[in-house]
Amino acid sequence: MFRLEDKDVLVIGLGLSGTAAARLLISRGARVTAMDNSDTPALRQEAAELRDLGVRVELDLRLPPAGQFDFAVVSPGVALDSPLVKELRQREIPVIGELELGWQQAVCLNISVTGTNGKTTTTELVEHLLTHCHKRTLAAGNIGKPLCSVADETKQLDYLTLEVSSFQLETIRFFRPAIAVLLNITPDHLDRHHTMADYARTKARIFENQQPFDWAIVQSEALAMLRAFGVKIPSKLITFSAHNRRADIHLDRSLLISRIEGWVGPLLDLERTRLRGPHNAENVMAALAIGRVLRLPLEEMVAAIASFQPGAHRCEFIAEINGVQFVNDSKATNLDAVSKALQTMPASQPGEPNVLLIAGGRDKGLDYHDLGPLLAQRVKHAILLGETREKLRASWSLFTPCTLADSLLEAVNEAVRNAAPGDIVLLSPACSSFDLFRDYRHRGEVFRQAVTQLQRTTNGVVAAASPTNGGAGQSGAS
């Protein structure tokens, strides 16, 4: 554990991560200055609570305050090429992230999961599996519970189960998982990482401090990409893939098959679980590989996975109304996630598109044309909203009819007007939520409310948007 007493520390950003970092630092005897570039009622309330603990708080601040700091802790939302971070580096103030700080203060081994898609599902699945097998663990990190907020609890744990994002990996220094999982790498966050090479190398940082006795569990396609970029993994390796039969664990129809020495043969039939699709097969493979490393009994792992209930906002069935299904996939914030969702949706008639796709939000710098051929096959109509709606229409209108909407409720109404029995209204946005909503959960809940309201109406049209249900006038962005 790294000593923090009498250190002068600057915390940048007062969201969940920054607040947790400030509280942990002050509890360890550091002198803490915290800052945020916004000034909202919620931030003022948080600032008052932190000041009561002895934290100096500065709001509506664009550049770091004067003074010398031993180091700075930045929240994941703060880009490293921002003027704020550039000034810190010019002043030779070391910069780390909240994940690194929390890891430095934790006292148990961690299992860390990263990848473009599937991180949350796999993290929750691993937590469920370990708990079922009588191992003490907590899920934290990018999943919504900052590592700094649970650092004190690690004394009672066998393992921490961490979801780790590329933004968090940008600011690690010594962070080291005993078991590191890389689920996949597909285009995402190119507005911040700029190139796929930079994005892939950032993801690969999860392995950089590992030792030869640690473990890396990696999708074989992602491993091939890392090797093409010259990335080497120093730890012991297990590969998995839904498409590559040469991987250590692979998918054969619905069976997960192992080629690992001493563990050869079928491990699990996905039909016994609530998880569907090749992408979820890979999430399960990663969890099984973790269990193998930890020497957990296979029969107990299979029982745990069979009892696992996937979380909300991930191809979540909401309702069926007049023969039309409504599915909430709000967590799909990139093209690969949308592609997987579309391929998972059941067809009504062979060769006939039956998905009414609701998409749009804040742009992440992706090439939306790439989804075109799949849209032509599966999407009957696309309803587009948010900052990217014009860009999406320019990219997709050659492949499927597109309509613009001013709010999510308007988009649901438009989808219903174009739907017929056997169709599916799918919210799978391909974009982040921060132009209209607090986060993907808020977006998914507004969709759920719209569908619930739709069930109550007699004519199948949702009532007009209001400031309380996520209409276009409610930004919720930060």
CB 385 within 8 A of CB 434: no
β-strands 109-114, 71-74: how paired? unpaired
User: What is the band of 194 on the pLDDT scale with cuts at 50, 70, 90?
Assistant: confident
In angstroms, the CA 403 to CA 296 distance is 51
User: What is the band of 420 on the pLDDT scale with cuts at 50, 70, 90?
Assistant: very high
Phi and psi at residue 229, to the nearest 5°: -90, 5
Residues 433-462 pLDDT 10s: 988 898 999 999 999 999 999 888 855 555
Please report the sign of the dihedral spanned by the C-alpha atoms of residue 396, residue 434, residue 115, residue 200.
positive
DSSP conformational letter for 183 = -
Query: Has residue 463 got a pLDDT over 70?
Result: no
Give me the pLDDT at residue 470, please: 37
Q: For residue 380, give the nearest of 355, 412, 344 by alpha carbon.
A: 355
Residues 59-89 pLDDT 10s: 999 899 988 999 999 999 888 889 999 999 9
How far, CA to CA in Å, does 72 sit from each of 8, 13, 91, 96, 379?
Answer: 9, 11, 11, 6, 47
Q: For residue 464, give the nearest of 452, 450, 478 by alpha carbon.
A: 450
What mean pLDDT value characterizes the chain? 92
Give me the pLDDT at residue 81, please: 87
**Cβ atoms < 10 Å from Cβ of 352:** 12
Task: Give percent of the chain with pLDDT exceeding 70.
Answer: 95
Tell me the domains of the chain and their CATH numbers.
Answer: 8-93 (3.40.50.720), 100-306 (3.40.1190.10), 316-456 (3.90.190.20)
Give me the pLDDT at residue 1, please: 67
Query: Has residue 464 got a pLDDT over 50?
Result: no
**Which residues on neighbouring strands pair with residue 328, listed in sequence order?**
316, 427
Residue 190 or residue 290, greater confidence: 290
CB 149 within 8 A of CB 105: no
In angstroms, the CA 271 to CA 249 distance is 17
Residues 21-60 pLDDT 10s: 999 999 999 999 999 999 999 999 999 999 999 999 999 9
Q: Give the H or E element holding residue 390.
A: helix 389-396
How far, CA to CA in Å, does 404 sit from each of 9, 147, 359, 397, 473?
Answer: 47, 40, 10, 11, 16
